[in-house]
Amino acid sequence: MITLIAATTKDGFIADNHGNGNFSSAEDKEHLRAILRHSCDGFICGTKTANEFGAILNYKPMHVFTRKTPIDWVNMSEEFDLALLGGAQTYAWFLANGLVDNAIITTEQNIKFGAGLGLGFDKYSKQFKLKDKIELSPNTIVRYYEKIRARV
């Protein structure tokens, strides 16, 4: 199973124009740490995200995604619970290829960038249903989504 995990600004960006995505609240960071420690077997990150957070995430296997990566993500996701941690191109590729099973998206209600790198989840949101919504603080909202499975 692959779970997309992202923090967005109120206007839907995951990073500003300079690529800075370190804007989430202390509450969200604590929430993220708990999820990563207890709810996944490993991480999927793009090269930039892996370089930036690799030292922090060294307690579980990290799979660095590139378009040339010779990994069978379908079989990998059937065997392991993986947290998809970005960046923007990595999120886009996994969403476009239908490989995201769940999404945990935090919105920081008090932050707007106006421009930057978007998550792109809205384009695929009809493939998911909202399962839960929690408020970590008055400005930090987390939404849990699950992919809608075709009925057989």
Tens digit of pLDDT for each residue in 82-101? 999 988 999 999 999 999 99
* pTM beyond 0.75, yes or no: yes
Residue 82, beta-bridge partner list = 2, 42
pLDDT of residue 152: 63
**Per-run averaged pLDDT (10 residues), the chain, 152 residues:** 96 89 91 94 92 88 84 85 93 94 97 93 95 97 94 64
Extract the tokens encoding 60.
Answer: 């579980």
What pLDDT shows up at residue 151?
Answer: 66
3-state class (DSSP) for residue 53: helix
pLDDT of residue 25: 94
Strands (E), 13-127: 13-15, 42-46, 62-65, 82-84, 102-108, 117-118
